[in-house]
Structure 1
Amino acid sequence: MEKMRLTSPAFQDNGRIPARYTCDGDNMNPELRFENVPAGTKSLALVMEDPDAPNGLWVHWILWNIGPRVTTLVEQAEPREVVIGKNSWGHNQYGGPCPPSGSHRYIFRLYALDTTLDLAGTASKGQLDVAMQDHILAEASLTGLYGGG
């Protein structure tokens, strides 16, 4: 089977994220497309993080219990059937790229899991990582760049 893929019509892998998806624009999530989700997947989880943040990894968005048949998260998605966890701002929502200086990488990671997660929306990325341990069937990533002009 082909490798699971995560893409966006808004930007290419390692390409620049358009301003409308950032704090300089509408601060809404870009459309994301999932391909080749493996058989046996019970749910998907998605994390968006900035490894270049001055104080270490900054979490912009975390979602889990996405249905395994979902192939697209539309722009400005807030799917009711998923759990949206707490980002580094302490909010249960998407927080777009907003680098204080320079260009940063924003990595979207999609995980195919062999279970659904019994995690409350108060959970952080660390708690999500622990809950996903030993349940990841496949992983895909998409990196966007923003900042620095």
Structure 2
Amino acid sequence: MTENVFTLTSSATPAGSDVAPQQLVANLGGENLSPDLQWSNAPEGTRSFAVTCFDPDAPTGSGFWHWVAWDIPASTTSLPLGVPREDPSLKQARNDFGTAGYDGPEPPAGPPHRYVFSVHALPVETLGADPDAPHIGARFAIFSQQLASASFTARYQVTG
């Protein structure tokens, strides 16, 4: 008997790979596009999803949040490459760069950084978080209510 496991994948940036060039910020030669994401086997009771991207290796003492999005309908099982910042089908907080939506890796030169992409299954249709407020409010609501989450990690390194 096979257990259904909540999973998250990306063809642009597969788990364990380097972040795809198109996901990087422009000054690193990228297009600053969010990766495509596909998920499956969400738990029973899921009424919406949230997506996050976090760099735990940023030299801030608390990591760096590249993307916090929520109110993704429960019928959704994927996001396309390059979700627009103004996409009306979901809400997106200001990331740690200060812009709403996704902004890609821009680590300082040194050791590789990890980028943890996650999808969170939520028991509510609407999170009730304000996208204009600091993303900590949305993250608190996501992490305190999630039924389950699925993640993968990619990496990126600036040398020289």
Unaligned runs of 5+ in 1: none
Q: Structure 2: which 5+ residue stretches go unaligned?
A: none
Summarize deviations over 1:46-99 as a string: whole Å, max 9, x none.
110111111131010110000111111100113312100110011112100111
TM-score (structure 1 length as normaliser): 0.92
User: Does structure 1 residue 101 correspond to structure 2 residue 123?
Assistant: no
CA distance in 1, matches of 2:117, 2:133: 18
Q: Letter of the aligned partner of 1:98 in structure 2?
A: E
Equivalent-residue separation in structure 2 for 1:17 and 1:49 (angstroms): 13
Aligned with 1:88 (options 83, 96, 107): 96
Matched residue, 1:123: 133
Which residue is 1:142 aligned to? 152
Paired AA for residue 36 in structure 2: E
Question: Which has the greater radius of gyration?
Answer: 2
Q: Kindly, what percent of the aligned residue pairs are identical?
A: 34
Does 1:110 find its partner at 2:119?
yes
8 Å CA contact retained: 2:48, 2:71: yes
The 5 A counterparts of 1:40-55 are: 40-55=45-60
Q: In the aligned structure 1, how far is the partner of 2:143 from the partner of 2:104? A: 27
Aligned counterpart, 1:75? 81
Letter of the structure 2 residue corresponding to residue 114 of structure 1: P
Q: Secondary structure at the match of 1:126?
A: helix
CA distance in 1, matches of 2:157, 2:41: 31
Q: TM-score, normalised by structure 2?
A: 0.86
Q: Specify which structure has the higher proportion of strand.
A: 1
- 1-side partners of 2:31 and 2:138: how far apart? 27
Cα distance, 1:133 vs. partner?
A: 4.8
Q: 1:133 to 1:49 in 2, by over 3 A?
A: closer
| Structure-2 change in CA distance of 1:3 and 1:60 (3 Å) | same
SS in 2 for 1:95: coil
Cα deviation for residue 22 of structure 1 reads 0.2
Instruction: Supply the distance in 2 between the matched residues of 1:98 and 1:92 (Cα, whole angstroms).
Output: 16
